[in-house]
Amino acid sequence: MSKSEPKISNLNDLLAAAYRIEIDAVGRYNLLADQMETHNNPELVKVFRDLARAEGIHGEEIRRLAGDFDVAAHAETMAQFAQESPEEADLSLAHYLMTPWHALQLSLKGEERALAYFTSIVETAKDPKVKAMAAELVEEEAEHVNLVHKLLRRYPKPKDDWADDPDPPHPIE
């Protein structure tokens, strides 16, 4: 983990980081849904909006776990991740002809990164409360990874020519 990632000193820091991860993912999936809307790929609009909704629910669960502590405000002020937030899907991998399989691959990578992030906290945290909560979040993320794998069974890998466009954007003079 990079040294400039959010510093987890106590339980509130961990919950804020977890909340930030989910909320950043909501923003990213909605951005991808907007892109697909602009480029007339309605199937993907639905997939990305559903993923955004799911991450929003996870965010709300973390907010509930935090009780009276204003986890959203703390998440806003705490240090940002050195690169992108673990569950933020890689924008550079988006394509206007992408399929649900591709969207779920992006999602899978995000969940795996979140899993790795919380696992690293379990391994390094000294505060037993932080360690226990991080372990709980590892279980949550493992469940999400399993869920994406299940969803992927519904959407087999597309053929190699998935990006072939019968009316491609040709270079013109």
144 CB contacts (<8 Å, ≥6 apart)? 58, 111, 114, 115
User: Least distance to other proteins from the beta carbon of 131, Å?
Assistant: 27
**Cβ of 154: how many Cβ atoms within 10 Å?**
9
In the region spanning residues 74 to 133, those forming contacts with other proteins, defined by CB under 8 A, are 76, 80-84, 91-96, 98
How many binding residues for other proteins (CB under 8 A)?
Answer: 27
Give the separation between CA 140 and CA 154, rounded to whole angstroms. 22
**Tokens at 40, concatenated:** 């007339």
Contact call for residue 1 and other proteins (CB under 8 A): no
Choosing from 10, 34, 116, 129, the residue that interacts with other proteins (CB under 8 A) is 34
Choosing from 12, 37, 145, 158, the residue that interacts with other proteins (CB under 8 A) is 37
Report how far apart, in Å, the C-alpha atoms of 30 and of each of 11, 39, 97, 136 are.
Answer: 29, 14, 17, 27
Contact call for residue 167 and other proteins (CB under 8 A): no
Q: What residues make contact with other proteins under the rule CB under 8 A?
A: 27, 31-32, 34-39, 76, 80-84, 91-96, 98, 169-173
